[in-house]
Structure 1
Amino acid sequence: MRFCLTSEVMTPDKPIFMHGFGSRTSKSEGVHDQLYIKAAMLEANKTLLILTIDALGSDRSFVVGIKDALKEKFGFEHDEVLINFSHTHHSVFLTGMDAGLRRGAYSMAQEGWTESEEELDYSEDEAYYLFMRDTILRMTEYCRDHLEEGELAIGRGKSGFAVSRRKPVGDGVVWAPYYEGEIDKELLVLTLTDSSGAMKGILYNYGCHTTAMGPDNLLLSNDFAGQTSRVLEEAYPDVTAIFLQGCGGELKPLRSAAGSVFKSLSIAEMEEAGTELANDVKGILNRGELRPVRCKFKTAMADPLLYTEQTEAAFYDPMTNHPDYNAFYWNAAKRTIRAIEDGTIKDRLPHCICIWQLDDDTKLVAMEGEVSTEYSLLVKKLIGSSCTVLTLGYTNGVYSYVPTRKMIREGGYEAGCNFFFHLRGPFVPEIEDIIVGQIVRLDYNLSNAE
């Protein structure tokens, strides 16, 4: 196989309103660490492209625009490109030029949370999209022109880096550390080495919210993932370290758990946490138990619809001025009420699922949105009995949380916050059947394809 890796800085050159915490009320005030786009191109029987972006996420206006540009210039089909977001809450949420595919309700240029979409000007976001698009096209051209012979290998281990934030209480849950909660602790590491045996790339896959720091941080940063990659690149000269965000919709760094509550870590504490995860990655590499991936690529993609409950507008009335909420909540509730009343509310959402079969023993399942760790456990149980499965969330778009049937029944933040995202109500429990069924179908078709 042949491969190439490259990275480019994407840090905005002026203060922006960061997305991720509704309690923020002002723009960024500097840079702690640079934000990056990183690319890994893999070529065997076909060519695949992984892009990772240090941002909270994006809507489909961004993803479709980028993938269409890659197809036009290089011939990549949409299922041959994965765009994975680190989900750092100290960066931007990205959009593109197509207003019809825009999630809305946020602009990097805003001064605070607005009540109506008409108050937002997306010209700065669109200029930033063009910068991102052109940078990605340039990076892809570089990779295409600098492919080198090498080997892909995979190693696996465990990490206790993350903890669930959904603690059961009675029939429901509260936002608190749940140390006993079953989560996917698997840490998977892909390495790329050149023909001389020198390691050039480390791609590490783990699911956890990049929220070691909290809303009080006003410095642009990739949070713990940025520190983890820096430590790895310092430890292994000439290596590009790439974080592949997994299914961590309800997971936070364990270091941010303080007894029965979570705390915001300082910059120094965040860096200590990121270093811990880097040490877990290095532990897998140092054991040397990596298995070669005999690259023969197959890809498939599905885009099923996920449906919401038909919640009435009156349900959101108490949220418009609830004293326990902030302007972000109040404005989201007001927008939802208006959208229900004027018929523009969404009650279904497309959900991108992509599977890459790297060889008979290695598969990658990537899902759009803030996917629960419970899906990762389900997928690995269903299709991972005879192979290694990497599970990615936050890939090819980040529209909303994607809870399981159990989470929807329990309620809580991840199941009940759909009104933030222009969705009518919580998802119906059957979305789990839809997602799992589509994954099993795609996997079956790939496994039986010539």
Structure 2
Amino acid sequence: MVMSSNSYYFTEAFVMRFCLKSERMTPERPVFMHGFGGRTQKSEGVHDELYVKAAMLEANKTLLILTIDALGSDRSFVVGIKDALQEKFGLGHDEVLINFSHTHHSVFLTGLDAGLRRGAYSMAQEGWTDSETQLDYSEDEAFFRFMRDTILQMTAYCRDHLEEGELAIGRGKSDFAVSRRKPDGDGVIWAPYYEGEIDKELLVVTLTDRSGMVKGILYNYGCHTTAMGPDNMLLSNDFAGQTSCVLEESYPGATALFLQGCGGELKPLRSAAGSRFKSLSIAEMIDSGTELANDVKAILKQGELTPVRCNFKTALADPLLYTEQTEAAFYEPMTNHPDYNAFYWNSAKRTMRAIEDGTIKDRLPHCICIWHLDDDTRLVAMEGEVSTEYSLLIKKLFGSSRTTLTLGYTNGVYSYVPTRKMIREGGYEAECNFFFHLRGPFVPEIEDIIVGQIVLTDMKLSNTM
């Protein structure tokens, strides 16, 4: 068990094997960054390198966590990567988690299967278009091959360099994030909501070798990686890149991985300026990332980490989420609204055409992956931009006596995933589905579907020997 921050006594019940690997994935030439609809040109350089990082854990079975410094990906990318890992290493889709930092200063990834592609964006585009036929995905597909080959090489390295050690978890709180959904009468507006209830739990997972040296730091917190705004034209992992950099400098030889949580409506508190949000400068963003790193370091320095009795169980669920049957005419006023930009106009045009020709989506599969690390420690990972309200709800369901890591932005990022309450209130996160080739807002019952699937899947795992 853990005696202090750097003094450990190992028992065989806790020992597992692990390895970490990090590789640069920064595009070599200018790309059209995704995340802000107001951008109209390609990137103009690099502030900090973008990375793909891997953590392999081996006990009774092998698990692989991949973190990628990108806005997200569609299923064409995720399925392509997981199929390749399964073919070469025998890793099941349920044994691999692909978590995206959701930085808005990178790209959105796709793969080779056009049938699983979300569409409407290419890293090679010059601006926002209103027709899929105007996009050429050859550069995206070349980048997928690079990412796939890099990940396969990293996984092979991890498999060949596993070392014995211990997995432990520390829990704390952080005031790093704030809600951007401020109540306004019967609805909400995009503004800092300082009193809003959010999940402030900061969970820190350490991988420590036999000598007591920290080799891996995985920190789990939910917040949009949007300290900087659309005026930034440099590739960057935003505050998460700085946080990981500070942690790796503070713990030489360690690899730090950001596990993006359920932060669909959360922004860095430092970007809140009274009744509005502002775009932080690079210097302010660095301060912001350093602040989160200090919160992580405080948990590590306390040394109150709980060893995990590694006995891994994994399962996937993939329920369908349904949308309202919105008519095409609803979107017509948006196609030339003076308050919107080209991204909004073109999204509305595409949605209207898709409704009229029958190609619009009115349901969406939603990947849920649950890992039991031991009897008292679970990880619930969900696809999409999941609300902090789900994180609060899930942790309440499983109780405070157990440790639950909640991840959004995992195994794909298709759209926002609001709760019943958010759908009733409206606002950006509940009403922007037309950006993503979806017919309308989700029906309120998606909350029942998601929570029900999580409970059912968790119960099946708990009853598995």
- Output the TM-score relative to the length of structure 1: 1.00
Aligned to 1:28: 43
Letter in 2 for 1:382: L
Structure 1 stretches of 4+ moved >2 Å: none
Aligned 1:65-84 pairs, distance under 5 A: 65-84=80-99
> Does residue 281 in structure 1 map to residue 293 in structure 2?
no
Show structure 1 runs of 5+ residues with no match: none
Aligned to 2:228: 213
Question: What is the distance in 2 between the residues matched to 1:75 and 1:236?
Answer: 33
Question: What is the distance in 1 between the residues matched to 2:399 and 2:300?
Answer: 22
Letter in 1 for 2:273: A
Question: What is the distance in 1 between the residues matched to 2:22 and 2:179?
Answer: 32
2:145 to 130, 136, 143: 130
2:61 to 46, 57, 62: 46
Question: What is the distance in 2 between the residues matched to 1:218 and 1:212?
Answer: 13
Do the aligned residues in 2 keep the contact of 1:383 with 1:440 (CA within 8 Å)? no
Aligned 1:31-430 pairs, distance under 5 A: 31-430=46-445
* Paired residue secondary structure (2:128): coil
Letter in 1 for 2:231: D
Show structure 2 runs of 5+ residues with no match: 1-15
Question: What is the distance in 2 between the residues matched to 1:10 and 1:385?
Answer: 38
Question: What is the distance in 2 between the residues matched to 1:154 and 1:162?
Answer: 21
The offset of 1:383, in angstroms, is: 1.4
* Paired residue secondary structure (1:439): helix
Do the aligned residues in 2 keep the contact of 1:155 with 1:189 (CA within 8 Å)? yes
Question: What is the distance in 2 between the residues matched to 1:247 and 1:65?
Answer: 24
The offset of 1:161, in angstroms, is: 0.1
Amino-acid identity (%): 87
* Paired residue secondary structure (1:357): strand
Question: What is the distance in 1 between the residues matched to 2:212 and 2:302?
Answer: 17
Instruction: Write out per-residue CA displacement over residues 303-359 of structure 1, whole angstroms, 9 at most, x where no aligned residue.
Output: 000000000000000000000000000000000000000000000000000000000
Aligned to 2:452: 437
Question: What is the distance in 1 between the residues matched to 2:400 and 2:462?
Answer: 14
Do the aligned residues in 2 keep the contact of 1:177 with 1:260 (CA within 8 Å)? yes
Do the aligned residues in 2 keep the contact of 1:203 with 1:241 (CA within 8 Å)? yes
> Does residue 448 in structure 1 map to residue 463 in structure 2?
yes
Instruction: Write out per-residue CA displacement over residues 265-295 of structure 1, whole angstroms, 9 at most, x where no aligned residue.
Output: 0000000000000000000000010010010
Q: How many residues align?
A: 450
Letter in 2 for 1:341: E
Instruction: Write out per-residue CA displacement over residues 76-104 of structure 1, whole angstroms, 9 at most, x where no aligned residue.
Output: 00000000000000000000000000000
Letter in 2 for 1:37: V
* Paired residue secondary structure (1:34): coil
The offset of 1:384, in angstroms, is: 3.1
Question: What is the distance in 1 between the residues matched to 2:218 and 2:109?
Answer: 23
* Paired residue secondary structure (1:338): helix
Letter in 2 for 1:404: T
Do the aligned residues in 2 keep the contact of 1:190 with 1:202 (CA within 8 Å)? yes
The offset of 1:385, in angstroms, is: 3.6
* Paired residue secondary structure (1:191): strand
Question: What is the distance in 1 between the residues matched to 2:457 and 2:353?
Answer: 39
Instruction: Write out per-residue CA displacement over residues 399-426 of structure 1, whole angstroms, 9 at most, x where no aligned residue.
Output: 0000000000000000000000000000
The offset of 1:447, in angstroms, is: 1.1
Question: What is the distance in 1 between the residues matched to 2:170 and 2:399?
Answer: 15
* Paired residue secondary structure (1:48): strand
* Paired residue secondary structure (1:433): helix
Question: What is the distance in 2 between the residues matched to 1:239 and 1:215?
Answer: 32
2:22 to 1, 4, 7: 7
Question: What is the distance in 2 between the residues matched to 1:380 and 1:409?
Answer: 23
- Output the TM-score relative to the length of structure 2: 0.97
Question: What is the distance in 1 between the residues matched to 2:374 and 2:28?
Answer: 42
Letter in 2 for 1:216: D
The offset of 1:386, in angstroms, is: 3.2
Question: What is the distance in 2 between the residues matched to 1:338 and 1:317?
Answer: 11
